[in-house]
Chain A
């Protein structure tokens, strides 16, 4: 797997080198770079919560940990083909994050994360039917020296996803959209941490939405998802492996113009052939980007989630690393252009998420400084 990641990184570098030779977005050319962003940043983060976690083989008794973090990232979008009726584009994102964590009882940790993702998308006008869109993507990450709780880092995995959708032109001012997707996730289980294999899953989802409005739009949507955990027992001899079905309904209001604003509310019902992970959840989401005086811009992204379990169980409800759908996240960021194509940002982050133990949470606070550089201007 590591060899695969190295190969992926090498190919990404080759791709970037190739992109450097592609002329910036101008009409007439078939292959055009639509966006390219290099990011570097540093942050100080604190973690609190004294829990053991089956996902991490190491246990530490500390309640608090502090970490200094440095990260590098690059992402971009390239139009491979573009006409009035069709666009094929490639998106990529990759990065490395190095953490130096202190405050643990046993020893200090220096986890390093490598992440990468890429996707190819097609957007095709299909006459009066509207627009058809299809996307295939792959996403992976790896973590070395993964620390114990409360410094939670996602385990490494490789996920492949494909989706197909249709957006129908407005009828009486209401446009409809639909999408199906298939996803397969493979978690990296090392010989000391075979439990991560329990998270391996395939899922298929369907979502239908209706949207209306102009600059300000409202979208109602409903979705259904089937998920199979082929390595996770259900404790039912007749139906031995876990199968979940998740229904979601939601509403989303979006305003796009001089200010970007979005509010969303999701309701989720998760039912399973194993009664342990059955739950109901409600999640509220907010996104705001607004200009401030002095060429500053404020960004806010927040997700607040509450969850109740359908059944009481005496042992840990959650599969190691799963943590179900119960995280609350908030990011507040102030951005200012420091030079042409260079933005500087100060970001405050907060997260509260459920650990392996149901209804037990860890918290994270972070203060970051980041630079976003776009070498290509339009």
Chain B
């Protein structure tokens, strides 16, 4: 029995990750999905993520080229202004204007490629989580120490992969109050750059909003269950209080009553109240993160206004 602590920690990690990434459309977690299907899906999703990353890297490289050309035109314009060469300045502004369009388009392409990477990463995480859950069941059902050890290694590797992906995700669609690293103020940015960055932040805020709404829906479901459970408990407690259900006197605990609705997440069973509180904390964090994103986007837009003036 060398696995328990690690297993339970893994289960907790998997479930926490599942909680942090709730927008799942594919019902992978169904126990009916065979292990072979999930393994095949894992391979497919890894390939998709690899392709998405390659496309993103290509898009970023192309964007960097376009950015270099655009910045070169701006520098020429700056040099022409300093030298008082109006004709050269006119040519430089025209070149900068001409190169701004492709640069903006390439910027958008890079942003879209980044979204694709994020989506592919999420899709892979989803399958890994489902497979981890499946492995937990298989570990519980392992019939020999050898089979158990093999499954344990598989579980550990997969969990490490999940943690790596989560860490990568922190630089992209992190669910931490950190602004995207590439969305920073740059004194060389023009209005279009600010517009692109503001839109990027707003898109992320919209995604966070959808996550928050999903969490809210799940909280409502649990709160309804809690209300029903409490009303049931109220009836039993009120009739049991004065021993009306203990007619006649009996030895031992009275029967009847519904066991607390709880779930096990890497430890003791959690009560409905605890699950609701966890979601509540998570939603508050999402709201705060979204507010920060929008605030950041608004700052970019204000800068556009200053440049326009």
Give A contacts to B, CB under 8 Å: 25-27, 34-35, 37, 39, 41, 71, 73, 75, 82-87, 93-95, 97, 113, 115, 123-125, 127-129, 131, 141, 152, 154, 161, 163, 167, 169-172, 181, 183, 185, 199, 201, 203, 205, 225, 227, 246, 250, 254, 256-260, 262, 264, 266, 283, 285, 287, 289-291, 297, 299, 301, 303, 321-327, 329, 331, 333, 335, 343, 345, 347, 349, 351, 353-354, 370, 372, 374, 378
Q: How far is the CA of A163 from the CA of B4 in the complex (A)?
A: 26
A–B pairs, 22, beta carbons within 8 Å = A26-B277, A115-B241, A115-B242, A125-B267, A127-B1, A170-B137, A201-B251, A203-B252, A205-B251, A225-B251, A250-B255, A256-B225, A264-B255, A266-B255, A287-B258, A289-B228, A289-B229, A299-B232, A301-B236, A323-B249, A347-B235, A351-B244
Q: How far is the CA of A297 from the CA of B230 in the complex (A)?
A: 11
Q: How far is the CA of A335 from the CA of B3 in the complex (A)?
A: 48
Residues of B within 8 A of A264 (CB): 255-256
Residues of A within 8 A of B258 (CB): 254, 256, 260, 262, 287
In contact, A256 and B277 (Cβ under 8 angstroms): no
In the complex, residue of chain A having the shortest beta-carbon distance to the beta carbon of B225: A257
In contact, B242 and A113 (Cβ under 8 angstroms): yes
Q: How far is the CA of A167 from the CA of B269 in the complex (A)?
A: 10
Binding site secondary structure of chain B: helix
Q: How far is the CA of A181 from the CA of B256 in the complex (A)?
A: 17
**Residue from the list A37, A41, A84, A183 in contact with B251, Cβ < 8 A:** A183
In contact, B8 and A125 (Cβ under 8 angstroms): yes
Q: How far is the CB of A178 from chain B (nearest CB, A)?
A: 14
Residue B7 lies at the interface, judged by CB distance under 8 Å to chain A: yes
Q: How far is the CB of B233 from chain A (nearest CB, A)?
A: 8
Residue B44 lies at the interface, judged by CB distance under 8 Å to chain A: no
Q: How far is the CA of A223 from the CA of B23 in the complex (A)?
A: 45
A169, A203, A259 — most chain B CB neighbours (10 Å) = A169
Q: Which 3 A-B pairs have the closest CB atoms?
A: A323-B248, A128-B4, A127-B4
In the complex, residue of chain A having the shortest beta-carbon distance to the beta carbon of B271: A34
Binding site secondary structure of chain A: strand
Q: How far is the CB of B11 from chain A (nearest CB, A)?
A: 10
Q: How far is the CA of A95 from the CA of B239 in the complex (A)?
A: 11
Residues of B within 8 A of A201 (CB): 251
Residues of B within 8 A of A71 (CB): 242
Residues of B within 8 A of A374 (CB): 230
Residues of B within 8 A of A301 (CB): 235-236, 239, 245, 256
In contact, B230 and A299 (Cβ under 8 angstroms): no
Residues of B within 8 A of A171 (CB): 140-141
Q: How far is the CB of B232 from chain A (nearest CB, A)?
A: 4
Residue B231 lies at the interface, judged by CB distance under 8 Å to chain A: yes
Q: A287-B256, A327-B247 are in contact. Are A97 and B242 (CB under 8 A)?
A: yes
In contact, B267 and A324 (Cβ under 8 angstroms): no
**Residue from the list A86, A181, A246, A354 in contact with B248, Cβ < 8 A:** A354
In the complex, residue of chain A having the shortest beta-carbon distance to the beta carbon of B252: A205
Residues of A within 8 A of B237 (CB): 37, 73, 75, 93
Residues of A within 8 A of B137 (CB): 170
Q: How far is the CB of A110 from chain B (nearest CB, A)?
A: 15
Q: How far is the CB of B9 from chain A (nearest CB, A)?
A: 10
Residue B40 lies at the interface, judged by CB distance under 8 Å to chain A: no
In contact, B256 and A303 (Cβ under 8 angstroms): yes
**Residue from the list B8, B140, B244, B268 in contact with A86, Cβ < 8 A:** B268
In contact, A35 and B236 (Cβ under 8 angstroms): no
Residues of B within 8 A of A285 (CB): 255-256
In contact, B234 and A37 (Cβ under 8 angstroms): yes
Residues of A within 8 A of B257 (CB): 287
Q: How far is the CB of A59 from chain B (nearest CB, A)?
A: 20
